[in-house]
Structure 1
Amino acid sequence: MTTDIRKDALNAYLSKGIHDVKGWCVPQLWQTIWPVYKAIGDGPVAEIGVFEGKFLIGLCKTFGTGPDNKAAAIDLFDMQEFNLDGAGVGKLEVVRNNLDGHGIGRDNVTYVKADSLTLRTREADQFVAENGLCKFFSVDGCHEVVHTVNDIEFAMKVTANDGLIAVDDYANPNWPGVQEAVARMYILRDFPFIPLAVTCNKLLLCSYSYHAKYLELIHSYIRTNHPSTHMKFVTRFGYRTLTVQPDFRTWSDLQ
């Protein structure tokens, strides 16, 4: 699929279809994702905590999920005794039906029912052997500190060096465990993936190797194509990052 056809399909989802799926991500998030995708190209995507598939569908449409490029949906699903923070309940059949309805076939997604605290090095190695290294990994599971740290570290193990990791609810005061988890991680030690940008309630991480390149790509793309979006360079945990604040009152297609 050419980039233009992919972009048209993604714009159609972001302008209309995304509003038909329950969840908490917004179309303007792609102002930051899209310019980096154009540099990364297609590849596997994964999400811990899929709820009803709203964000995962958008990621699949962005990164070309198909028979030879599968996505992974990791969730407790019916194991709700491990839903310790009472966050959104992922419903397997609802997720499958939503992905089906938006053109993401069931054979193109691997569904993993698991408590994410069981995901360790052995599971990471198995994941990469079966799916390949992710180009985008979304962390949106249990928002308690221990879970968030574990999920981010698992994501780092299975994400390609040129890939992105998104940590949801970083800016949400109702889920302080997420911000505390990130602070504990980056104050106490160094990691190969470092803060890149905060936008639309998510913290994006990328590898140190691509950090300067991706900052420039995002800043240049938004400045050119979405002039109503406010951007500011700020330092987070010693790293130069962007705060991106779109105008949520309007939507303009990705370019």
Structure 2
Amino acid sequence: MKGWLTIAGLGPGAAELITPQVSAALAQASDLVGYLPYLNRVPPRAGQQRHASDNREELARARQALQLAAAGRQVVVVSSGDPGVFAMAAAVCEALENGPASWGEIDVRVLPGITAMLAASARAGAPLGHDFCAINLSDNLKPWALIERRLRLAAEADFAIALYNPRSKARPQGFARALAILRTACGDERPVLFARAVFTPEERLEVVTLGQARPDMADMRTLVIVGSSLTRLVPRPAGALLYTPRSAYPAGGV
């Protein structure tokens, strides 16, 4: 049988949010490749082999998956969220670009999933209802100076900003620096959503102002959304909604 490689997004955490297309690929696979916590989200299947690796081994993981597919295996690389957003699809493309010419014959597909910023936005209301951007605060693969520049420019452009990987044990100070940059650029009153482990039993949502935001409110399972100048919290007896209006014009404008 000819091998193939699928990079699949498992969504934010709840099994019912995995797409039918991804579920079908998982059922057909002879081999699953991925970071161990993500592999653990997939129920075991008889005869299916699992190849787990550590968090920072994305390129090695991609090469292993391609080698398996080249050998005739049916391989699924699993990612959380969407595989094309700060995840494994780019690593597989990089491995293909720099790998042997024979890998060019492998059937490669990318199957989307619900990424963290969309899941977090849905749980809170619609904070990404107008123009927004996403910035990964990890400096493992880019210099901190570039992160700072992107934060300043995103604030200047008045985007709502989704912040991925805000704070880890290895780099606890980065998020504090990011908050300081955003306060200088935006002031203290912007609403900030801290959405941890959405669509899991550990889910926690909290909305504070930028002035109230603290670094210890986030970890690597937290997605942070900093609102634009128009983002607002609407209090309701049934539960407050955080949203950014669809229009950038003042109320009653064009």
Q: TM-score range by the shorter chain?
A: 0.3 to 0.5
Compute the TM-score of the two structures, normalised by the length of structure 1: 0.33
Greater per-residue helix proportion: 1
Compute the TM-score of the two structures, normalised by the length of structure 2: 0.33
In our comparison, the structure showing a higher alpha carbon Rg is: 2
